[in-house]
Structure 1
């Protein structure tokens, strides 16, 4: 009997699993990301089939990003007020309805540019609620020690579904029937809603108090973020890194054509290479976190991002540029998983929506500013100028952020 107990005690312990609820959450993310990726390619094609005006074509993307600048903080406050699972279900049903209406308009030939703009804007508004609520839900679905693994898998499905598989599928399906990709997108939202409805959501219990005005709750989230040194530094870094990232990458199509001499398919290959790197990063991040620690990974990421911009400015060979983007994609995924996992660990459940909304606002705001500056710099000084400027800015940012990402700094804040 004692011998049996000893054998049992020495038996290897199975690693903790993410569980069925996370599997359903992952499935919901996959369904919505696949549908979004298909529409991501079909949307510009639809607008281009109605007009050749570059401003109108680019405006279709702008109206879907605009809600993040207008409603991100508001949606974050409501995410903390409402049942997040039910909110995602309702929002996905609404998104499916809007996209299905657009598909019907395309099918019947009644689609117009203003109608597309309205549909994309409404979907963008709904996205601010769905993405905020989805990110805030994750710590209630998986155990704390499994957050990096869970975030890596969710990032991987975004890389594969939204960026690698869905766009070429969306373009191909659009050629077959212009309404079909939007119909698939609508079905994806309904599938995501059904999967979310089957999750046993376990939010952390909170003390019921008198409801504060919305403005007060938004300010509370902002104050909490600014008071937490590590979260504040991560937020500022992400905003500034998005400015430096989207500056050069907003004109990547010109860089690939004029600097590298690639045809259109070569530009697509560069984007795919970056996405492959991102997938590799999500596969490696959990092991790297255990071996090196979060602070070391963030410091390595600062170096990789800085070197990337300078290396692309100097590169004249498409294979070298592709290799650089492969490494950069892996770094981007690792940085995203680490920063998201830190936020999930330290931000109280009652504030996750509001703090997350600030991150989304900074990410979109940084992207918009970077895209504008990158285009102006390329127009004034050539297509490699945004890369030189981004690399120089990253040197300054790395010096500022380096000491904040020490192992002791992480230990103190977490």
Structure 2
């Protein structure tokens, strides 16, 4: 497979792809082991839940700043440096867990640093890809990277992380530190990319404003960014209490809930395989419009059904949609945004995504508490109907971009 990948997308992409696979395994291991570690230190639900928020918080605080620095610095070197720097706090956490000195504050600090590094590394990787892959192969490259994330992070790493934690609580964090070091070494073997001349550096806030302005003035990308920001409010509000929905509405056990979660990954994997082919057959505009319809149908179906198989089937379809949408949007952004603005425009897009998700997560629990578990799904279906209506005409431009 690697030989085929090298032949079609180039040796440098193969190195980036391998680095992504390795680091995604490490990330997934920590995503599984992190909550287990926190739960072994404290039984306070607020502190356990806070560990997830602490790793998301840097996206809200630093996404725009990180995007500006991605456009200022050598993106390849930035990915290398950030991966090395992310390995260091993980190594420190490994020692703290091994010596039984890890506290909630220590874990929070490490997770915050990991999240901060992620804002730089993920933004830089996305902006770096067009420099090593031909424009007509970007969709295939993005699909492979997303498929790797689904397989490595969702299927392989999470059960592995839990298993390693049971063997020895410090091991998963040490393994993650090693994966970051390996990923840095792999990216270091990619040929340096000549940096094109850039305009004189200005104040950071002025450079950030350039990225915000460029996105806002591009009708199609503005429509996509705002649509997905609002869609994430709807989605995360509906799915914030999914565990309770699975138990009380669908009658699933904890194991059944776990299987329900895997439907996202199954659909996502199918979506990454199908995305380039579907785009060639139907065009980006048609697929993006269809994706909004899928969102409406998904939320409506989940609001109505009490049958686990129906819920699982619609979630597989939803997973396919999310990956198809993701491949199209990321590829489109890489093609139309000027190279010197890719980091900033990408960071604005991510900030809207993460901000919508955070707001939805906060609203969902309150809505379900007051009006019942299906209310957030009905509200999400109504929101997505309005979003689809407003975005329908602008999305037609996607096929021509």
TM more than 0.5: yes
Equivalent residue runs for 1:9-408 within 5 Å? 17-202=8-193, 205-406=195-396
Q: Give the secondary-structure state (helix, strand or coil) at the position aligned to 1:17.
A: helix
CA distance in 2, matches of 1:250, 1:115: 27
Moved over 4 A (4+): none
Q: Secondary structure at the match of 2:201?
A: coil
Quote how far apart the aligned CAs of 1:360 are. Answer: 1.3
Alpha-carbon distance in structure 2 between the residues aligned to 1:43 and 1:136: 29
SS in 2 for 1:142: coil
How far apart are 1:42 and its partner, in Å?
0.4
The CA distance in 2 between the partners of 1:78 and 1:311, in whole Å, is: 43
- The TM-score with structure 1 as length reference comes to 0.94
**What is the alpha-carbon root mean square deviation over aligned residues?**
1.2
Quote the Cα distance in structure 2 between the aligned partners of 1:227 and 1:201.
Answer: 32
* Structure 1 residues 250-279: Cα deviation after superposition (integer angstroms, max 9, x where no partner): 111111011111111111111111101100
Question: C-alpha deviations, 1:330-365, integer Å up to 9, x for none?
Answer: 001000110111101000100000001111111110
Instruction: Verify the 8 A CA contact 1:41 1:171 in the aligned structure 2.
Output: yes
Q: Hey, what's the Cα distance between the residues in 2 that align with 1:371 and 1:234?
A: 21
- Give the CA deviation at 1:114: 0.4
1:410 aligns with 2:401: no
SS in 2 for 1:182: helix
C-alpha distance after superposition, 1:226-259 (max 9, x if no partner): 1111111111111011111111111111110111
Give how far 1:208 is off: 3.9
Contact 1:243 1:370 in 2 (8 A): yes
Q: Are the counterparts in 2 of residues 159 and 279 from structure 1 also a CA contact under 8 Å?
A: yes
Deviations 1:308-335 (A, max 9, x none): 0000111111111111111110001000
- How far is 1:411 from its partner? 5.7
Decide whether the 8 Å contact of 2:283 with 2:399 is kept in 1: no
Over 3 Å counting, the alpha-carbon distance change for 1:16 and 1:145 in structure 2 is farther
C-alpha distance in 2 between matches for 1:154 and 1:210: 34
State how far apart, in whole Å, the 2-side matches of 1:329 and 1:201 are.
36
Query: How far is 1:206 from its partner?
Result: 2.8
Q: 1:36-93 CA deviation, whole Å, 9 max, x = no partner? A: 0010010000000011100000111111110000000000000000000101111000
- How far did 1:16 drift? 7.4
Q: CA deviation at 1:133?
A: 0.3
Deviation at 1:410, TM superposition (A): 3.0
CA distance in 2, matches of 1:199, 1:224: 30
Q: Is the 8 A contact 2:198 2:340 kept in 1?
A: no
Match for residue 5 of structure 1? none
Deviations 1:95-147 (A, max 9, x none): 00111110110001010010001111111111100001011011011000001
Q: Which residue of 2 aligns with 1:3?
A: none
Structure with bigger gyration radius: 1
In structure 2, what is the Cα distance between the partners aligned to 1:245 and 1:375? 12
2:392 is paired with a residue of what secondary structure?
helix
Counterpart of 2:3 in structure 1 is: none
Asked if structure 2 preserves the Cα contact closer than 8 Å seen for 1:75 and 1:129, the reply is yes
Cα distance in structure 2, aligned partners of 1:171 and 1:389:
35
Secondary structure in 1 matching 2:61: helix
Verify the 8 A CA contact 1:103 1:183 in the aligned structure 2: yes
What is the distance in 1 between the residues matched to 2:33 and 2:7? 40
Q: State whether residues 140 and 201 of structure 1, in contact with CA within 8 Å, keep that contact through their aligned partners in structure 2.
A: no
Q: Deviations over 1:177-199 (max 9, x none)?
A: 10111011111101110110001
